[in-house]
Structure 1
Amino acid sequence: MTLHRTRRVKCDEGKPECQRCIKFGITCDGYAIPPAAPPKRTGTQLILPKKESQSTPASSTIAHIARLFGGAGSLDEVDGQCFRLYLEETATQIHSVFPSALWERLIPQISEAEPFVRHAIIAIGALAKQSKSEARRKRLGDASQASDYQHALKQYDRSLRGMRDAIADGQHDLRKALVACLLVFCFENMLGNQLSAAKHAESGLMLLYQWTTGNNVLGEAWETQKVWEDHLFEDLLEAFNALDLQILLFIDNRSPTIHSRMKESQNRIISTMPQIFYTLTQARQYWNLIMTRNYHFNKSMQGIDMSKIQEQRDDTPWEDSANLQTGELLLSDSKDRPSTLKEEHIRYRIDIDKWTLASTRLFAQLAAGSDEREKVGAAILQVQAKVNHIMLSGAFFTTETAYDTFFREFKAIVTLSETILPYILSTYEGAAPRFHFDIGIVAALYLVGSRCRDYEVRSRAIELLFEANIREGVWDALSVAHMGRWIRDIEMEGLDAGDQISEEKRAFLSAVNVDLAHKRAIVGATQRTKDGPKQRKALLTW
């Protein structure tokens, strides 16, 4: 029999509800007497919107840690340079537009006590240093050097060995395991190893899922040491919400049952959404809940035979490539579905409308203000809201021409992205691709490039992806730019710009095998012709 332990969280005494307790999905003892014999809760515990807290300024934390590791007796000159580069530049660039205490302060603070974290920071900093040097060499026309890259790999190897030792030392500390997963996810994505990054992200998500549902993992209880402050665990959980979204939009081996449970738990919290948002942080936290819920809904409908999919994934000519099969990609298996699911998707679109209404006044104030970062942040959320309308509806489309009803949304996504991208590019000095931890606009622009059949709008989207050359987690702009252009060119065979594309000529991506490290992909697309499905295949390189 599995024991489900009550996980008690210190009450923050917020009104009308304790935000910390809501975040963890349990009810604290700080309020009115609960009803007698409440039903036992076995669902998942979620990352929920939390209050904005007054924390130590990032600059003072950076100065403290830089002093700590800047001395001759701590790190050598090369390691010290890489560590400082992470503190002063990379940590800010990783989270892009939305500030994150986790990357800027908490992970550096953890590195004071955890050597594996320190080695990972140095490794990430070394990759950033190599990227800056490469950009400078390209401008000057100098020959490429690999010393920083090799140093990054050396430090990463030391970090991996330290992670294994830290997690296997008998303490079985959950937060150490979660921090390790985050650091591996970042480093592997910066290298272009999408498959390895996705596997580690999913491992961390499953650890967290099993912990929040009260299940023992590997036969042992995962602890949460008191020396780790509550706010650290909350920020870790928030980061894993972002990872959840990455996996939902990529390689996801989780069962439909898990997707359904996550969806149900998130529905409970979304129902508490206020009618008006007063800060961008609040709007974003509720939006992240809505967005991940929507994708869990889409995934729960797929009904994929994972054992068969795994066999197909293993059939690849490239080692460690990300191999996504037919039916696994979102919107690649669209079909007529039961009326109950259609009604559910309408409720979720109504949630998007409620969120949009709650954000209207805030976004108008931000647009009239002078804070460019918040303006761009609001624009990113608006892009994602429009994408979610399309993704929810697209799961029920049985024709490609049905997407034409979203022309206005496609155009708005591109227009907003044209205001977002210059700001993002202005904050980075290294060589492409620029790495961001969170999903931003890359997936949105790919959706326009592949599903919008207005030649001008889709071409603008594809051009933006080429111009951006950013990597948002596992989503690489340059690779999907090539995919979007390939699909457009297939559909335009024998046509001129502006010609109507018939249903028979329209194609959708049905399979893809990506090897970012070697800048290549095998792509498959399907066209629904009168004679049945027509399969197209190509090797793309860049």
Structure 2
Amino acid sequence: MLVRPNFVLWHYTEAIKHLQARLEGDLEASDVALLCCLLFVSLECLHGNRILVMDHLKNGLNILRSSQLKELENPSSSNANSKSIKQEVRPLFHRLDSQTTLMGYPASSLFNHMDKLLSLHTPRSFKDFEHAKTSLDLLVASSLGFIRDIHDGKHAESGSVSLSARTLQVHLLSEFTIWNNSMADFVKARHPSTDEDNKLEKSLRVQHTASFIWLSRCTELGEAGFDAFLPEFASIVKWSRSLMMPSTETKDPCLHTRLASLSIDGAAKFSLNMAYIPPLYLVAIKCRDPITRREAISILEETNGREGLWDARLHAKVARRLVEIEETNLLMSEGAKFVYMEPGPLMRMIADGQVRTIMTPPDERFRVHDMDIREISEGSRGTCQATIRTWPYGLLEGKFQWTETIHF
């Protein structure tokens, strides 16, 4: 049955009107508002409307912040059912805030206030996988907010990073180490584990490892330091590949996990959770091992769907272009005149009509240091504007920053 867009839009608008009326008539209806915010975020994510996603997320974070303050002032201000709903959906807001931070939007002060980050303490043991996931969500959301702040200040002030920021970085890295140790103890205690346990562990380790790498390098302008993490990049790819394999449905009792991972057989998969698309994109743009980064791009291209704002198809195409830029300039420095990346799954570099294999990581001056994705238009043939930065080193052509239109 064909559903007319106006019909859907009318119901969408009516839902917002009813929500506003509910909030005006019941000041304690924040639980309903939070659930509706998640629904609106999901709908706009599916449509690729990032501006409205940010609007709904901002409203949800404001509601969450307000309700937390109200509960601190008056613990009896909300009933047990309302508190339960907020407790269930709060991790989703942590994850969504992390996603928007990675997409270039400023982090919410709900998770990246310096005093809160310094007081962040990871549990020394986990009761179950959900406990481990919730702990990691908070740690990742907090760290990515810090990374974004450092990124913006670092590029604006020629690499200047304050001592307090570096102290905070060390603290956050130590919390990641604690989480890793707690996870290892938890997995060891559950032995023997099921196939589903193994998948849950790999999913968490993918996110943990990617966030740890980014946090470790966020205070440095140079890209060569990422080469120290080549084994970790390879692990992310290996774990992600195994996560693509079909498995039995996870019987997860938690509302926020079920809400975030609804899918229909045969349709493009959609989840509000970050699983492996953002980590694989990190591998593709920061790992200079030619085999590992190409495997990461291949998995993205094979993935039919998106995780929140992260579209696998879009990010695979952007990553392809970044690899082509870096390896083209490396080959041109060796004397090649005409270089391009061959279309298709092999992603071979063609230099003056010959297939050329990159054997070693490129020199610092040939690396892309930053790439911002903006003005994304959805559809069967989507486009985006990618701003590429090579400052402070620059490429052979002397370009420091330029913008390209990328089709996906």
Q: Do the structures match in fold with TM over 0.5? A: yes
Partner amino acid for 1:411? Answer: A
Please give the TM-score of this superposition, normalised by the length of structure 2.
Answer: 0.78
Q: Does the aligned pair in 2 maintain the 1:302–1:333 contact within 8 Å?
A: no
CA displacement, residues 49-70 of structure 1 (integer Å, 9 cap, x when unaligned): xxxxxxxxxxxxxxxxxxxxxx
Q: 2:386 aligns with which of 497, 516, 523?
A: 523
1:243 corresponds to 2:108:
no
1:464 corresponds to 2:299:
yes
Query: Quick one: structure 1 residues 440 and 224, their matched pair in 2 at CA, closer, same or farther if it must change by over 3 Å?
Result: farther
Match of 1:294 in 2: 143
Match of 1:405 in 2: 228
The Cα of 1:302 is off from its aligned counterpart by 4.7
Q: Does the aligned pair in 1 maintain the 2:91–2:137 contact within 8 Å?
A: no
SS in 2 for 1:453: coil
The Cα of 1:483 is off from its aligned counterpart by 0.7
Match of 1:232 in 2: 85
Match of 1:511 in 2: 372
SS in 2 for 1:487: helix
- CA–CA separation in structure 1 for the residues paired with 2:92 and 2:52: 18
Match of 2:52 in 1: 196
Q: Does the aligned pair in 1 maintain the 2:107–2:148 contact within 8 Å?
A: no
1:335 corresponds to 2:159:
yes
Alignment of 1:62-141 (within 5 A): none
Partner amino acid for 1:458? Answer: R
1:483 corresponds to 2:332:
no
Query: Quick one: structure 1 residues 419 and 177, their matched pair in 2 at CA, closer, same or farther if it must change by over 3 Å?
Result: same
Partner amino acid for 1:511? Answer: D
Q: 1:363 aligns with which of 187, 197, 210?
A: 187
Q: Does the aligned pair in 1 maintain the 2:151–2:219 contact within 8 Å?
A: no
1:540 corresponds to 2:399:
no
1:349 corresponds to 2:202:
no
- CA–CA separation in structure 1 for the residues paired with 2:305 and 2:319: 16
Query: Quick one: structure 1 residues 188 and 260, their matched pair in 2 at CA, closer, same or farther if it must change by over 3 Å?
Result: closer
Match of 1:390 in 2: 213
Partner amino acid for 2:140? Answer: M
Partner amino acid for 2:49? Answer: N
Which of 295-304 and 485-494 deviates more?
Answer: 295-304
Q: Does the aligned pair in 2 maintain the 1:259–1:300 contact within 8 Å?
A: no
Query: Quick one: structure 1 residues 189 and 541, their matched pair in 2 at CA, closer, same or farther if it must change by over 3 Å?
Result: same
CA displacement, residues 410-457 of structure 1 (integer Å, 9 cap, x when unaligned): 111101101112237999544553110111111100000111111100
Partner amino acid for 1:450? Answer: I
Identity of aligned residues (%): 19
Structure 1, unmatched stretches of 5+, are 1-144, 216-220, 305-325
Match of 1:380 in 2: 203
Aligned length: 362
Query: Quick one: structure 1 residues 355 and 228, their matched pair in 2 at CA, closer, same or farther if it must change by over 3 Å?
Result: closer
1:179 corresponds to 2:35:
yes
Please give the TM-score of this superposition, normalised by the length of structure 1.
Answer: 0.60
1:438 corresponds to 2:287:
no
Select the structure with the greater relative contact order (CA < 8 A; seq sep ≥ 6): 1
Match of 2:349 in 1: none
Which of 482-491 and 177-186 deviates more?
Answer: 177-186
Query: Quick one: structure 1 residues 338 and 488, their matched pair in 2 at CA, closer, same or farther if it must change by over 3 Å?
Result: same
- CA–CA separation in structure 1 for the residues paired with 2:225 and 2:19: 49
- CA–CA separation in structure 2 for the residues paired with 1:258 and 1:533: 38
Query: Quick one: structure 1 residues 449 and 425, their matched pair in 2 at CA, closer, same or farther if it must change by over 3 Å?
Result: farther
Query: Quick one: structure 1 residues 226 and 277, their matched pair in 2 at CA, closer, same or farther if it must change by over 3 Å?
Result: closer
Match of 1:268 in 2: 119
Query: Quick one: structure 1 residues 380 and 240, their matched pair in 2 at CA, closer, same or farther if it must change by over 3 Å?
Result: same
- CA–CA separation in structure 1 for the residues paired with 2:191 and 2:274: 22
Q: What's the RMSD between the two structures over aligned residues? A: 3.2
CA displacement, residues 171-220 of structure 1 (integer Å, 9 cap, x when unaligned): 463223222211100111112212211221122112322443459xxxxx
